[in-house]
Amino acid sequence: METIYQVNLMPIEPILFSDNRSARAGEDHLIRDQDPSPHTIYGAIGACLAGAFGAEIDQKKWTAEAKKYLGDFITDIKNGSTERAELMGFFYKNAQDEFWFPRPLHVRLRQRYANQPVVAGKRMRIKPQKPGLAASSLQDFENYLFFERDDDEAELDDYLSANLLQNILCGVDLSNKLLLENERLPLENIYKSETRLGLGMDNDANRPRRGLLFSRPYRRFSSRAHAESGEWRSAGLTAFYKTREPIPPQKIPANQLAFLGGDRGRALIQFVETSQPLQNLRLAVENAAAPSDGFFCYLLTPAVREARWPLIERQQPIAAAIGKEKVISGWDRAASQQPRPIRKLAPAGSTLFFNWPAHLDRVELIRKYWLQPIAADQFRNSGFGRMLIGVWKNED
């Protein structure tokens, strides 16, 4: 019986989420920071669980017990299978253990000057395409997102609270709403960049090697000591992870560290069994479904960009807000000492708008696609393209 765990990852030291440049000190050494790939989170949790079953991330060291709970060890991970463990999504949590979600990209923020209050943008409507507007990037769609002109629009790296996300997913009109301190979180409250110097050493001569001074971009996650409990907590990531079978309680790692990102960065890991991930959020959306005009898919995790738009119930989106694509990659140290392939992603927070299909009940659709991948053949198990469902309604 499949079981879902809410997994909290609290980094205890700066974490290196590096791109596909070589980590070898030298002239070609220019690692850059990138958002963690879903593969990274999936691997961190999977390796921790595999360790509890005496297995290692290696085909030869995979045990029967690990297979029972996590599925087969395979190297071709692009094609998904429900016979293997799955990452069902992840998002940031702050040091107060509150969840923070990527901004749905059809919601714009307004702020003219730093330190001014942040306001949700002006009203958005979905309008039928006019011939003159059908530029190349829009011509796939029947409709487009019409925004009133806004000179104060600001590209803030802010994350939104669960409550605010709920309002957005329920189609509440947020135009000109003043966002409260507990509704938005600047990125720097989750982590800050911390660049560290390094140099290549010639250990035989006990002196630095000439020309090998480099830097590495770490992320230091925010942390605090809680006055209520006296306990230390760190900001980090919360993920939903599905195993093939419920893990025996004595095997669930307690007081454990997981390895996260490059350089074997460590994070405290905690597993809590959950039957219905983000259930309150889903129930609120279900209640808002009846009076709406359509639904939208909100990408909780980035999805691999493909040449065609994804289909939901055989329907193409009628409009979308996907922002600028992101690229991720990595360095394949163990296998080939080469960069991994670069993948272009639709960023987390992207939204794709659809009409309700006639043949499926609205509530049923929301439940069917809640935290499911937008494309089953694009690294389903690693957690790419996991979505939440929202509803939209044009006011006029």
Residue 47: CB minimum distance to another protein, A: 12
Residue 203: CB minimum distance to another protein, A: 5
Counting contacts by CB under 8 A, is residue 266 touching another protein?
A: yes
List C-alpha distances in Å: 82 to 70, 333, 383.
10, 29, 12
Report the residue from 215, 276, 287, 338 that binds another protein according to the rule CB under 8 A. 215
The DSSP-derived string for 361-386 is -HHHHHHHHTT-BS-TTTTTTTTTTB
Counting contacts by CB under 8 A, is residue 196 touching another protein?
A: yes
Counting contacts by CB under 8 A, is residue 115 touching another protein?
A: no
383, amino acid identity = G
Residue closer to another protein by CB (options 213, 327) is: 213
Instruction: Give the span between the Cα atoms of 315 and 365, in whole angstroms.
Output: 13
Counting contacts by CB under 8 A, is residue 223 touching another protein?
A: yes
Q: Is the CA virtual torsion 219, 258, 300, 185 positive or negative?
A: negative
Counting contacts by CB under 8 A, is residue 194 touching another protein?
A: yes
Q: Which SS3 state, helix, strand or coil, does residue 302 take? A: coil
Report the residue from 1, 64, 178, 197 that binds another protein according to the rule CB under 8 A. 197
Give the contact letters, 17-36, x = binds to another protein (CB under 8 A), - = no: -----xxx-x----------
Hey, which residues between 79 and 108 contact another protein (CB under 8 A)? Answer: none
Residue 31: CB minimum distance to another protein, A: 12
Residue 115: CB minimum distance to another protein, A: 19
Residue closer to another protein by CB (options 202, 325) is: 202
Residue closer to another protein by CB (options 137, 215) is: 215
Give 226-230 contacts, CB < 8 A, sequence gap 24+: 226/96
Which helix or strand (DSSP H or E) is residue 95 part of?
none
Residue 334: CB minimum distance to another protein, A: 6
The 3-class secondary structure across 102-146, one letter per residue, is: ECCCCCCEECCCCCCCCEECCCEEEEECCHHHCCCCCCCCCEEEE
Hey, which residues between 38 and 77 contact another protein (CB under 8 A)? Answer: none
Instruction: Give the span between the Cα atoms of 100 and 329, in whole angstroms.
Output: 24
Residue closer to another protein by CB (options 127, 209) is: 209
The DSSP-derived string for 332-347 is ETTTTSEEPPPEEEEP
Counting contacts by CB under 8 A, is residue 201 touching another protein?
A: yes
Instruction: Give the span between the Cα atoms of 321 and 9, in whole angstroms.
Output: 30
Instruction: Give the span between the Cα atoms of 122 and 95, in whole angstroms.
Output: 32
Report the residue from 74, 180, 225, 376 that binds another protein according to the rule CB under 8 A. 225
- The binding site for another protein (CB under 8 A) comprises 12-14, 22-24, 26, 192-198, 201, 203, 206, 215, 220, 222-232, 254-257, 259, 264, 266, 268, 333-334, 337
